[in-house]
Amino acid sequence: GGGGGGHYGPTGGGGGGGGGMENMHLKVPNERVGLIIGKGGMTVRGIQDRTGTNIQVPTMADQDDPRTRTVHITGPDSNSLERAVDEINSLLTNEARELNGPGAATYLAVPQVFCGAVIGRGGSTIK
């Protein structure tokens, strides 16, 4: 089956003036926002560094749709915005492929010495 992707598009101004920043909004399901932020904000900082953008993830759900949050992306040009959106969509797409149901995930801290036992030979245990 397939989940819906995010809706995004340029929201502002266009003309040829110099030095202006461009903006884009990306609607993200609440349960997936953590993927974008990453542990201690590392994932979002990496995306910002690689793409030259500023990404703001709201702490609260959208008022018009409590299941989503609108992520604001600002950058020097449309190319940097597209690269940031591509990275975010890639994160969300990869996660969606790994889940069999809508938004169901369990996180468990496992000491590294036991990772092999949890995964099993060829992934047989974890599957």
Contact 61, 68 (CB under 8 A): yes
What integer pLDDT is reported at residue 122 of this predicted model? Answer: 77
Phi and psi at residue 54, in whole multiples of 5°?
-115, 125
CATH level 2 (architecture), domain 8-123: 2-Layer Sandwich (3.30)
Domain ranges of the chain: 8-123
Q: What is the pTM of this model?
A: 0.61
What integer pLDDT is reported at residue 75 of this predicted model? Answer: 95
Burial (CB < 10 A; 0-12, 13-18, 19+), residue 52, is: middle
The radius of gyration computed from the CA coordinates of the chain, to the nearest angstrom, equals: 18
Q: Which regions in the chain score pLDDT beneath 50?
A: 1-18
